[in-house]
Amino acid sequence: MKSKDHNFEPPHEILDVLPGFIYQLKMNPQGEFSWLYLSNGVERILGLPVAEALEDANRLLSLVHPDDFDRVLNESIAVGEKEQGWFGEFRMFTVEGREMYFEAHDTSRKMPNGDIIFTGFANNVTEKRELENQLALLSHYDALTGLLNRSSFHEILENTIRTSRRKQQHFALLFIDLDHFKPVNDNYGHRVGDLLLQSVGRHITQSLRDSDTSCRYGGDEFLVLLPDVAEVDDLTKVARKIIRQLEQPFVVEDHTLHISASIGVSLYPDHGSKADTLINLADQAMYQAKHAGAGNIQIFGR
């Protein structure tokens, strides 16, 4: 469709392959908007017929994410008054409700009657942003089990130390090492071992409160953070529950597997006030528990 005020219509063969849409938007001195031009990408990407959008500017504007709308509007008006270029990122919803990401570049021109004309291109960057979000998510979680990875857990542990110091609270750190895991890898291969670790991660998570945090520390070792633990009995109940969960037979690819776990515990602030110290002491306690026999719990120094 042609612009009402300007001859602004690139060749259709170009418009059909653009990963976004071209627009020309007018804002009058009363702050009212009308689209002078919209390319077919509006319908192809967002599902909104161009004719409907041109008839009622709010049909398209209402698809802008409410958390982004005021920011985009205010930034556009500010640069429009100065006849400057604008670049910004925002989210829009398709007519069917799917959230999408766009990067927009436009230029502005102020007309003698006070109208501001914005001419630009909104580029669909949804796949790029979704990939970036997935990569960011993977950077925090263990790829095999889906639990937090070591570095993310360490960050949460540091934050818990600061919070517990300020509120004068206690917390417990559990270092879990699987018993009889090596024979699984030796006898059935690493694929079965990996599937078993995935199941172990789920069983540990099911044993915890919503406020607790778990991670795969490496290999067949796991860490669990129990915040605001007032009594030793509270943490031993959780530790025993984890052991009971892991002593149940696991069925993996038609193999019935039997393992258990040894758990070492360190306490804040009794055993230290630094993350590495608490992890090391819980690790030492875990080895004491393992030497005492499979399925044992040992609190450091007791």
Residue 68 annotated in active site: no
What is d(CA 127, CA 63) in angstroms, rounded to the nearest whole number? 19
Closest CA to 282 of 202, 207, 222, 238: 222
Q: What is the pLDDT of residue 16?
A: 63
C-alpha span between 181 and 260 (Å, rounded): 8
Confidence (pLDDT) at 4: 47
Place of tokens 């979680």: 141
Task: Read off the tokens for 174.
Answer: 């559990």
Q: What is the pTM of this model?
A: 0.61
* 296 CA to centre of own chain: 35
| Contact by Cβ (8 Å): 259, 180 | yes
Catalytic residue among 142, 179, 212, 220: 220
* CB within 8 Å of 254: residues ≥ 6 apart: none
pLDDT per residue, tens digit, the chain (302 aa), is 444 445 555 555 556 667 899 999 999 999 899 999 999 999 999 999 999 999 999 999 999 999 999 999 999 889 888 999 999 999 999 999 999 999 999 999 999 999 999 999 999 999 988 888 777 777 889 989 999 999 999 999 999 999 999 999 999 999 999 999 999 999 999 999 999 999 999 999 999 988 999 999 999 999 999 999 888 888 999 999 999 999 999 999 999 999 999 999 999 999 999 999 999 999 999 999 999 988 999 999 88
Q: Domains in the chain, please, with CATH?
A: 12-132 (3.30.450.20), 141-299 (3.30.70.270)
Cα separation values, 87 from 65, 142, 203, Å: 17, 36, 48
Dist. CA 146–CA 41, nearest whole Å: 38
Quote the pLDDT of residue 52. 95
